[in-house]
A and B are shown apart, each in its own frame.
Chain A
Amino acid sequence: MTGGTLALVVAALVLPALWGWLVPGLLARAWPRREPPPSAGAQPPLPDYEI
C-alpha cells in the first residue's frame, strides 16, 4: 500500500464523520426556520358595530 493510498483510506474513514458532524449545524445556521409572522393565524378584528 503506497503512502497516497493510505492517506486516501484514512481520509475516507475520518472525513465523512467530521463533515457529517459539522454540516447539520452549518446548514441550520444558513437555512433557519422561517417563523410565521405574529399576526398569522389570528382572527381578523371584528367590526365594531352593533347588529
Chain B
Amino acid sequence: MDTGNLALSAFLLLAAIGFVAGAIGTLVGAGGGFLIVPALLLLRPEATPAELASTSLAVVFFNAYSGTAAYLRMGRLDGYAATLFALASVPGAALAALLVHEVPRGAFQGVFGVLLLALGLAVLRDPLGPPRPGAAAGRAPDLRADRRRARIGAIGSAYLSSAASLLGIGGGIVQVPFLVRVLAFPPHLATAVSQAVLTVSALAATVVHVARGTLEGRLDETLSLAVGVMMGAPVGAALSARVGGAAIVRALGAALCLVGVRLLLRLL
C-alpha cells in the first residue's frame, strides 16, 4: 500500500475497518485496537511492532475520545473513577511507548496471548462472576470512601495500560473485566470508564510516538482509520444501551479469546 498517496479504494477500506473497530470497540468498552492491529498486520507485513502499535494507539485515541463523548452525553460516565484511573494510566502507557522500540516482543507476546485467552475463556464461562456489593444495585463503588479499592484500581489500571500500550491494543478489553470483576463496577458503567481511561492512556502513548517520529509518513493511513472509528464509536455506544450487561461481557470474552489466539498464532 502506498501510504504517501492514499488511493480512494485504500481510504475506503481503512475507513471501513475503522468503522467496524469503532463500533465493536465502543460496544465492549475497548478502543478497537484488537481489531486494528491484525488488520494492519495483513495490510502492512513490512511494518515493525512499534509502527503498528503507534498507528493503532493513535486510532484508539480517536475512537476512545469519540466513545467517551457519546457516553458523557448519555450521562453514563463516572467522572471521579474515570479521572482516577486515567491519571494512573499515564506514566505506564508513556513508558511502554518508549519500551516497544527496545524490547523484543516474542516472549512477552506469548505470555500475554495465553493470559488473554485464559481471561477470555473465564469471562465466557461466567460473564458476570460472583455477585459483589454495589454491582447488583447498578451503582459504581464509592472510590472516595473506599481508598483500598481505589488503590487496587489505580495500580491495576496503571499496569494494564502499560501492557496494552506495549502491544498497541489500547487495553479496554482487559480494563472492562478488571473493573467489573475486581472493582465491582456494573458493566454498563465499566465500559464508559474504560473508554475515558483509554482516551488518556492512548493519548499519552501517541504523544511519545509522535515525539520519537514513529508515526512519520503514516498520517494518512492513521487518519483514514480514525475517520472510520469516529463514525463507528457512536453506533457502538448506542448499541450498548440496548444490550444487557451479560451480553457486553460475553462479547468481551469472545474478543479476548480472539486476541489471545491472534497473538499466539503470530509466534508460529
A residues within 8 Å of B by Cβ?
Answer: 2, 4-5, 8-9, 11-12, 15-17, 19-21, 23-25, 27-28, 31-33
Contact A31 B155 (CB under 8 A): no
Contact B155 A21 (CB under 8 A): yes
* Complex partner residue of A5 from B96, B103, B151, CB under 8 angstroms: B103
* Complex partner residue of B96 from A4, A12, A23, CB under 8 angstroms: A12
Contact B80 A19 (CB under 8 A): no
Contact B92 A9 (CB under 8 A): no
CB distance from A34 to the nearest CB of B (A): 11
Main secondary structure of the interface of A (DSSP, over half): helix
Question: In the complex, which of the residues A19, A25, A31, A33 has the most CB atoms of chain B within 10 Å of its own CB atom?
Answer: A19
In which size bucket is the chain B interface?
20 to 34
A-B contact count (CB 8 A): 70
Chain B residues 122 to 170 lying within 8 A of chain A, measured CB to CB, are 143-144, 147, 150-151, 154-159, 161-162
Nearest A residue to B92 via CB reads A16
B87 contacts partner chain A, Cβ-Cβ < 8 Å: yes
Residues in chain B near residue A23, CB distance under 8 A = 84, 87-88, 154
Residues in chain B near residue A5, CB distance under 8 A = 99, 102-103
Nearest A residue to B87 via CB reads A23
CB distance from A8 to the nearest CB of B (A): 5
A5-B99 Cα distance, complex, nearest whole Å:
7
Contact B88 A19 (CB under 8 A): yes
B110 contacts partner chain A, Cβ-Cβ < 8 Å: no
Residues in chain B near residue A15, CB distance under 8 A = 91-92, 95, 158
A45-B199 Cα distance, complex, nearest whole Å:
49
Chain B residues 149 to 195 lying within 8 A of chain A, measured CB to CB, are 150-151, 154-159, 161-162
Contact A21 B151 (CB under 8 A): yes
- Known contacts: A16-B92, A20-B157, A33-B144. The answer to whether A9 contacts B99 by CB under 8 A is yes
Question: In the complex, which of the residues A9, A15, A17, A24 has the most CB atoms of chain B within 10 Å of its own CB atom?
Answer: A24
Contact A24 B143 (CB under 8 A): yes
Nearest A residue to B145 via CB reads A33
A26-B75 Cα distance, complex, nearest whole Å:
25
